[in-house]
Amino acid sequence: MGRRDIEVLKRMAEENARKRAKNKPAAEPKEPLTEDEPALSQGRTASLESQKSAAEPNANTEDLVKKKAAAAAKAKAAALAKQKRMTEEEGSSTSDDLAKKKAAAAAKAKAAALAKQKRMTEEEGSSSTTDDLAKKKAAAAAKAKAAALAKQKRMTEEEGSSTSDDLAKKKAAAAAKAKAAALAKQKRMTEEEGSSSTTDDLAKKKAAAAAKAKAAALAKQKRMTEEGGENSSDDLAKKKAAAAAKAKAAALAKQKRDSGEPADLDKEKAKAIAAAKAKAAAAAKAKQKGADTKAAEPAADIALPSPNQPILDTYKAIIEGELGNDSLEDSYINKLSKDVPTLIVKRESYLPLVTCLRNHPKLRFDYLSEIHGTDFLEHFEVYLYLQSLLFKRDVVVKVKVDRTHPEIESVTPLWPGANWAESEAYDLLGIHFIGHPDLKRILLGEEWQGYPLRKDYVQYDDVEV
Q: Give the chain's mean pLDDT.
A: 77
In sequence order, which residues have a C-beta less than 8 Å from that of residue 460 and are 6 or more positions away? 174, 449, 450
Q: What is the pLDDT of residue 140?
A: 81
216 contacts 280 by C-beta, under 8 angstroms? yes
- Burial code (b: 16+ CB inside 10 Å, e: under 16) for 153-167 equals eeeeeeeeeeeeebe
Per residue, the 3-state secondary structure of 208-236, as one string, reads HHHHHHHHHHHHHHHHHHHCCCCCCHHHH
At 196 the pLDDT is: 44
| pLDDT band of 90, cuts 50, 70, 90 | low
The pLDDT tens digits of the residues spanning 243-291 come to 766 777 676 666 666 665 544 556 665 676 777 677 777 777 777 776 6
Q: pLDDT (tens digit, 9 = 90+) per residue, 163-192? A: 556 666 677 677 777 777 767 777 776 665
Q: What pLDDT is recorded for position 263?
A: 47
Chain mean position to CA 199 = 45
Q: Are 346 and 326 in contact (CB under 8 A)?
A: yes
Type of residue found at 246: K
**Rounded Cα distance, 462 and 251, in Å:** 10
- Split at pLDDT 50, 70, 90, the class of 300 is very low
Q: Does pTM top 0.75 for this prediction?
A: no
| Pairing mode, strands 379-388 and 393-402 | antiparallel
Predicted confidence at residue 218, as pLDDT, reads 77
* Residues 399-416, mean pLDDT to the nearest whole number: 95
Range of 84-93, 144-153, 442-451 with top mean pLDDT? 442-451
- The model's pLDDT over 27-72, given as tens digits with 9 standing for 90+, comes to 555 445 445 555 555 556 555 665 555 555 555 677 787 888 888 8
Q: What is the largest CA-CA distance in the chain?
A: 192
Give pLDDT tens digits for 348-395. Answer: 999 999 999 999 999 999 999 999 999 999 999 999 999 999 999 999
